[in-house]
Amino acid sequence: MSNGQLKLVVIISADSDADRLMKALIGRGYPATKISSTGGFLHRGNATILSGVESNEVDEVFALVRAECHARTEYVPVQTLPFFSEGASLSEPVEVRVGGAIVFVLNVERFEKT
CATH code of the domain containing 65:
3.30.70.120
Q: Which pLDDT belongs to residue 1?
A: 37
Residues 28-57 have pLDDT tens digits of 999 999 998 776 555 567 899 999 999 999
Residue 33 belongs to domain spanning? 6-71+99-107
Instruction: Specify the number of domains making up the chain.
Output: 1
3-state secondary structure the chain: CCCCCEEEEEEEEEHHHHHHHHHHHHHCCCCCEEEEEEECCCCEEEEEEEEEEEHHHHHHHHHHHHHHCCEEEEEECHHHCCCCCCCCCCCCCEEEEEECEEEEEEECCCCCCC
pLDDT above 90: percentage of residues in the chain: 49
The pLDDT of residue 74 is above 80:
no
84 part of a folded domain: no
77 part of a folded domain: no
47 part of a folded domain: yes
Q: Which pLDDT belongs to residue 2?
A: 46
93 part of a folded domain: no
